[in-house]
Amino acid sequence: MTQERRRFSRIDFDARVEIAQGDKNWQAQLLDVSLKGLLLAKLSPYQLQPNTPLLVKIILSDQTSIAMSTQVVHQTLEQLHLACVSIDIDSISHLRRLIELNIGDAAAAERELSELIASADN
């Protein structure tokens, strides 16, 4: 049996995503999200520049979105695995609330946020 090494809960969540790298823009579909990154389904072929951050905007509603700077961890023809490099305070608040609502445990969401802050300090 393999041991789960993941410290952050992944939340299956369906949302529209806008991706930007330099002057290029693409659309994607969010498959899952955590405090450390996200998994996207590509809606068209992407020609990404290696080692160049991607700006990702997860559209939650007309007035609410989560914006973060990300780095490509892995990609296939159909998917992008991205790690969060930086996120603003409003976006982390929305993401924390999204995770809290989906795992149904405010204390667990708070522990994950504390772990994220602790790992960023190291």
- Give 71-107 pLDDT, tens digit per residue: 999 999 999 999 999 999 999 888 888 877 776 656 6
> Are the C-beta atoms of residues 42 and 77 closer than 8 Å to each other?
yes
Task: Write down the pTM of the prediction.
Answer: 0.76
Which strand (E) or helix (H) includes residue 31? Answer: strand 24-33
Report the CATH number at residue 58: 2.40.10.220
1 inside domain: no
Domain enclosing residue 74, as ranges: 11-121
Category of 104 on φ-ψ map: left (φ > 0), alpha (ψ -120 to 50) or beta: left
Is there a domain that residue 55 lies in?
yes
Number of folded domains that form the chain = 1
